[in-house]
Structure 1
Amino acid sequence: MQWTRQRDMVRPINDNVPCIGNNGLLGFDPHVYTSGRWLRNDKCQRQLRQINVNFHKLCQKIVDLFNGEKSIKDCEKKEGGFNRVFIFTMDDNSRVVARLPFPLAGPAKLATASEVATIQYLQRKTSIPIPKILDWSDDAANSIGSEYIIMNHAAGIQLHQKWPYMSGDQKVRCIDAIYRKLGEMADVNFPAYGSLYFSTAPLEPASRLPLDEGFCVGPHCGTRYWSCGDHRLGDTGLTIGAFSDGLVDAGLSRIPPRDSQLPNRPPYHGSVQTHLDLLKQGRAVLHAMSADSRVQDAASPTLFHPDLHKRNIFVSDNDPSIITAIIDWQSSSIEPAFWYADEVPDFATCAPSTSSALRVHDGELCKKAYEACTQFLVPKLALPRLMDEGMFRPFWYCYRTWKDGVVAFRHELIETSKDWRALGFGGPCPFALPTPEELALHRKEYKFFEAAQNLKHDLSSLLDCASDGWVPPDNWEAAKTENKAMFKGMLQAILENKDPDDDEPIRDEKNLRDIWPFDLPGE
């Protein structure tokens, strides 16, 4: 998640208005996304991050929380993938954070209510340090004009700021401290998959499962069940079979009712009917896999942090083995343990620092510490990490066929069917292997798919942008120019290659445009 920072000194206009800046104007626009641009669908991406917040009312809300005994002297605006954050510094130098969700973050009402409930549940059940919530609203009709969460600022310093200056031993002790805290959360047992809510949340009775102390498990409000303006909520799942049905249903919900050839849709994408047929077969495969006791053991309903990286962890500046806060609990949910086991945090894959050249490689040291801490402190996640990932891959890809193209999930089903016996599943695999002719066509399409993924990865690295094309504002013009130049250069190389290999999928300008991940002139 990229975060950039903008600052503006906020000065009161009069005794009644707490924090609007010079002549009533801010040095930043609180409504629009200004932290970056996208090389693909830039206008749409920025519109999805616009919030019609009444910033004056938000400032007044902050001051009212302190009964007028404090005023605001400074404000920072930060933006991530799913939220806009305003960090207010009060006149006594204390700080307060207001987080407002972007429209693309999911169903904002439920996502906000679930995040607050999750934080308060963890504060009751564990010793994980999470900043105190001061106020919140899941009703966009409030005076501020948006759902929001206002909380104390995290104590300490962000781990990503401290990390480059830490010794190998400090990093190991820090990783151990992180997992000792998070292990408390993973140890909590839940009766179902879904998101946490207060028992007073306005949910359908059939969609809630009561917990103790005024909480319940309700519909999953993660983004995989929701997309661009449509609410697609995953119902509470009591079994891994029900959970897999929810994944397939999410995949089906993204398929349009009628087929239309989108501009430059790659040939491996597949027709509407092809997607429908494949997901029907995939549902049967997931049901058969879900009946296996080993999968059930690895699918224990588990609550864990959804984005465990250095930017979301705060530590003591004096002793980085002391965890002072863990933030960003949006989209936290109760998932099968194997869902979280696949995620490796950035502090477990970091590059070594130059100061450690004569010592054990920092990256290897952190990786070993991560593996050991997972095994001994979070055994629910350790179990699936010891298993063949082929037992879980169809679960990971079934709900995103319309985004990835049908060939990606078909490939997983083919590999699962081929390895069915080796993976230890009983009975025949519900997915029949394609005929030799169908398999030859699939391999051709899959090479095209792999070429597209490799191209996106390489371009992202060369253009210094995210995989979705996000670049900082200062790099926007240069990245656009370089994107066009790279396309022209690659196209020239393709056209000059008069004798391409038989298995080369990219042979002409149309092929290249079909898989080019970013916008091009004339499109």
Structure 2
Amino acid sequence: MAHSRSDLFDYTSGRWIINDALRHAERRRVFNVDGLRRLAAQSVDRSPDDIVDFAKLAEGGFNRTFLITMRGGFQMVARIPYPATVPKYYAIASEVATMALLRSSGLPIPDVYGYSPAPDNAAETEYIFMEFIRGTKLSDIWLDLEERDLISVLHQLAQLESKMMSISFPAGGSLYYAQDLEKVAGGPGIPLKDERFCVGPDARLPLWYGRRSQLDVDRGPYESAEAALVRAAQKELAYLKQFGQPLLPFQRIRREAYRYQEQLPLDHIENLNRYLLIASSLAPKDPGLCHFRIRHPDLQQNNIVVSRSSDSNWRVIGLLDWQHASILPLFLLAGIPERLQNYDDPISQRLTRPSLPENLDDLDEAEQSRAKELYRRRLTHYHYVKRTEECNEPHYAALTDPVGMLRRRLFYHAGNPWEGETLALKVALVEAAEKWETLTGGGAPCPVVFDAEEVRETMKLDAVQRGADETLEACRNMIGFGPEGWVTTEHYEEAMTRSKQLKEDALAETTSAEERAEITAHWPLDDMDEEKYM
């Protein structure tokens, strides 16, 4: 166990081409290693002397995990949150309860051996000790799966989602052990039939991000679909009224469309109030779509463990990472998981079975590669929906609701942290006003009205910003970075060189000192001050 403390405490799985020092500082977590080892051993009725290895296993967006190996080959996982992870107590406590309930319902969830949602323990950190599921991350084999294996895995996922979505809840929010919630909320929440569990405050990140965690606002439990629809928007209104200030858009590639002028929080406040005028009308008439259900908050290949069965088929044996899971009306939970969807493609939108180009053999190698990649994305999208239709009728009904995606866009844009733009919410509001009868089933007229010129200017700006996003995506592909500018450590120097070259090329094409100054001040891949956006 000759591991350096820095390896255990620091993020070592990659780097960022933007704000690298800040990202690492957010993820540096010093804890009492010996204390964590003792607690881990106690959680499985073993002696600390039985531990023969303690090594970092993985580092994600919110947590660091360690693999603990004991004599006899027994292995378990210890997981601790980063300092920047919020809401720490609620996130840990709700994840543990969620895992326990779902595991008891027959889902392949790791067994939890012990946990602490507070740092007042020998390890001096919050933690979860859980079962180590031996298998293969789906992400490691995803691109190598043959079509029959791909269909099989998607079918299993649809079955598992059907099982979890069949669990009913008396209210929305997040799930807790009643004893954990009483320690911080002063009350037991809304109990389930199994009174060990209750529904309490919603642990989704947008409700707690930055200074929002300081707000005394109602984050649930939600006793109705209408309450679930309004609470996050009311939270954001409270934040803007207390902390709001003029901001340039956080996404610097989008600043040019505003002529590099700071945007006022009053504009977003106006659109949040517009949203609240219509929110109570957004719940579908079908009561089945308004039932409170739970779903994995980030169902993607890295969080799915598979193994080869005796008949050589891949079998899903583990669903990992339930942090920030929330209980919401089914129509708000619905949708194809982010890493499985291909919504922007017309073929996928029509839900027609995809096929490879007839002239595939005539294409050059690069074109063939692109065609096969697109085909795979379409195939994944198509079979996820088809398997959901077979296994999970309520989710399929929500998926195929013609205005279901609009309902969800309105809800999420109204609840997301304001980052200097109100455009996404406004575009959704314009669409809601245009589709009001379909959205609500008719009756009272839409209380939100936009004049034709305002709609025209909004859609014009949206088109410009879509182009800006495409430019950033082209930069991402050219340099090879992921979310927040993440790259592998091995690729970091090369990525930084490419990033600097892109900036130099852009500056070389300028025709004025003013344009040069704007590019220099707002280059989207340089470090920036993020504090004012918290």
Give TM-score scaled by structure 1 length: 0.83
Matched, 1:102 2:119: no
The answer to whether the Cα contact below 8 Å between 1:89 and 1:95 also exists between their aligned partners in 2 is: yes
Does the residue aligned with 1:75 lie in a helix, a strand or coil? strand
Does the residue aligned with 1:316 lie in a helix, a strand or coil? strand
- CA gap of 1:426–1:105, structure 2 versus 1, over 3 A, is farther
Structure 1 counterpart of 2:189, one-letter code: R
Structure 2 residue runs of 5 or longer lacking an equivalent are 343-347, 349-353, 357-367
Structure 1 counterpart of 2:33, one-letter code: F
Please report how far the alpha carbon of residue 50 of structure 1 lies from its aligned counterpart in structure 2 after TM superposition: 2.1
- CA gap of 1:426–1:476, structure 2 versus 1, over 3 A, is farther
1:293 is matched with 285
Among 146, 169, 177, the residue aligned to 2:125: 146
Matched, 1:88 2:68: yes
1:228 is matched with 210
Larger mean CA deviation between 219-228 and 230-239 belongs to 230-239
Percent identity at matched positions?
25
The answer to whether the Cα contact below 8 Å between 2:247 and 2:263 also exists between their aligned partners in 1 is: no
- CA gap of 1:151–1:197, structure 2 versus 1, over 3 A, is same
Q: Measure, in 2, the Cα distance between the counterparts of 1:103 and 1:452.
A: 33
Does the residue aligned with 1:103 lie in a helix, a strand or coil? coil
The answer to whether the Cα contact below 8 Å between 2:54 and 2:66 also exists between their aligned partners in 1 is: no
Matched, 1:257 2:243: yes
Please report how far the alpha carbon of residue 302 of structure 1 lies from its aligned counterpart in structure 2 after TM superposition: 1.3
Matched, 1:58 2:43: no
The answer to whether the Cα contact below 8 Å between 1:244 and 1:286 also exists between their aligned partners in 2 is: yes
1:176 is matched with 155
The answer to whether the Cα contact below 8 Å between 1:309 and 1:347 also exists between their aligned partners in 2 is: yes
The answer to whether the Cα contact below 8 Å between 1:484 and 1:520 also exists between their aligned partners in 2 is: no
Does the residue aligned with 1:78 lie in a helix, a strand or coil? strand
Q: Measure, in 2, the Cα distance between the counterparts of 1:49 and 1:394.
A: 32
Among 260, 269, 281, the residue aligned to 2:274: 281
Q: Measure, in 2, the Cα distance between the counterparts of 1:155 and 1:522.
A: 42
- CA gap of 1:338–1:289, structure 2 versus 1, over 3 A, is closer
1:6 is matched with none
Q: Structure 1, residues 497-519: CA drift from partner, whole Å, max 9, x if none? A: xxxxxxxxxx9346656764321
Among 45, 56, 68, the residue aligned to 2:23: 45
Among 94, 117, 120, the residue aligned to 1:114: 94
Larger mean CA deviation between 315-324 and 256-265 belongs to 256-265
Among 200, 217, 222, the residue aligned to 1:218: 200
- CA gap of 1:210–1:155, structure 2 versus 1, over 3 A, is same
Q: Measure, in 1, the Cα distance between the counterparts of 2:178 and 2:99.
A: 15
Please report how far the alpha carbon of residue 27 of structure 1 lies from its aligned counterpart in structure 2 after TM superposition: 7.0
- CA gap of 1:515–1:394, structure 2 versus 1, over 3 A, is farther
The answer to whether the Cα contact below 8 Å between 1:182 and 1:304 also exists between their aligned partners in 2 is: yes
Q: Measure, in 2, the Cα distance between the counterparts of 1:445 and 1:239.
A: 36
Does the residue aligned with 2:511 lie in a helix, a strand or coil? helix
Q: Structure 1, residues 371-392: CA drift from partner, whole Å, max 9, x if none? A: 1221232223211211122343
Among 199, 204, 213, the residue aligned to 2:178: 199
Among 412, 420, 435, the residue aligned to 2:436: 420
Does the residue aligned with 1:495 lie in a helix, a strand or coil? coil
- CA gap of 1:168–1:259, structure 2 versus 1, over 3 A, is closer
The answer to whether the Cα contact below 8 Å between 2:165 and 2:295 also exists between their aligned partners in 1 is: yes
Structure 1 residue runs of 5 or longer lacking an equivalent are 1-9, 11-20, 497-506
Q: Structure 1, residues 252-296: CA drift from partner, whole Å, max 9, x if none? A: 244353524559873386302222222111111222323x515x5
2:482 is matched with 466
2:303 is matched with 312
Please report how far the alpha carbon of residue 43 of structure 1 lies from its aligned counterpart in structure 2 after TM superposition: 2.7
Please report how far the alpha carbon of residue 215 of structure 1 lies from its aligned counterpart in structure 2 after TM superposition: 0.7
Among 437, 449, 469, the residue aligned to 1:432: 449
Does the residue aligned with 2:8 lie in a helix, a strand or coil? coil
The answer to whether the Cα contact below 8 Å between 2:246 and 2:420 also exists between their aligned partners in 1 is: no
1:246 is matched with 231
Structure 2 counterpart of 1:247, one-letter code: A
- CA gap of 1:339–1:459, structure 2 versus 1, over 3 A, is farther
Please report how far the alpha carbon of residue 462 of structure 1 lies from its aligned counterpart in structure 2 after TM superposition: 1.5
Does the residue aligned with 1:57 lie in a helix, a strand or coil? helix
Among 30, 33, 36, the residue aligned to 2:11: 33
Among 494, 500, 512, the residue aligned to 1:484: 500
- CA gap of 1:421–1:177, structure 2 versus 1, over 3 A, is closer
Q: Measure, in 2, the Cα distance between the counterparts of 1:405 and 1:521.
A: 17
Q: Measure, in 2, the Cα distance between the counterparts of 1:311 and 1:277.
A: 39
The answer to whether the Cα contact below 8 Å between 1:305 and 1:329 also exists between their aligned partners in 2 is: yes
Q: Measure, in 2, the Cα distance between the counterparts of 1:411 and 1:330.
A: 30
- CA gap of 1:104–1:521, structure 2 versus 1, over 3 A, is closer
The answer to whether the Cα contact below 8 Å between 1:288 and 1:430 also exists between their aligned partners in 2 is: no
- CA gap of 1:261–1:346, structure 2 versus 1, over 3 A, is closer
Q: Structure 1, residues 338-385: CA drift from partner, whole Å, max 9, x if none? A: 333223353566999999x99x96555443331122123222321121
Give TM-score scaled by structure 2 length: 0.81
Q: Measure, in 1, the Cα distance between the counterparts of 2:220 and 2:125.
A: 25
- CA gap of 1:352–1:461, structure 2 versus 1, over 3 A, is farther
Does the residue aligned with 2:210 lie in a helix, a strand or coil? coil
Among 225, 229, 237, the residue aligned to 2:222: 237
2:360 is matched with none
- CA gap of 1:246–1:168, structure 2 versus 1, over 3 A, is same
1:376 is matched with 390
The answer to whether the Cα contact below 8 Å between 2:155 and 2:388 also exists between their aligned partners in 1 is: no
Root-mean-square deviation (Å):
3.3
Please report how far the alpha carbon of residue 464 of structure 1 lies from its aligned counterpart in structure 2 after TM superposition: 0.9
The answer to whether the Cα contact below 8 Å between 1:103 and 1:229 also exists between their aligned partners in 2 is: no
Among 175, 178, 190, the residue aligned to 1:209: 190
- CA gap of 1:186–1:263, structure 2 versus 1, over 3 A, is closer
Q: Structure 1, residues 30-75: CA drift from partner, whole Å, max 9, x if none? A: 2222222223333332222222211222123333444327222352
Please report how far the alpha carbon of residue 394 of structure 1 lies from its aligned counterpart in structure 2 after TM superposition: 1.2
Q: Measure, in 2, the Cα distance between the counterparts of 1:275 and 1:345.
A: 26
Among 517, 520, 523, the residue aligned to 2:524: 517
Does the residue aligned with 2:27 lie in a helix, a strand or coil? coil
1:13 is matched with none
The answer to whether the Cα contact below 8 Å between 2:51 and 2:68 also exists between their aligned partners in 1 is: no
Does the residue aligned with 1:202 lie in a helix, a strand or coil? helix
Q: Measure, in 1, the Cα distance between the counterparts of 2:265 and 2:27.
A: 29
Please report how far the alpha carbon of residue 109 of structure 1 lies from its aligned counterpart in structure 2 after TM superposition: 1.0
- CA gap of 1:163–1:261, structure 2 versus 1, over 3 A, is closer
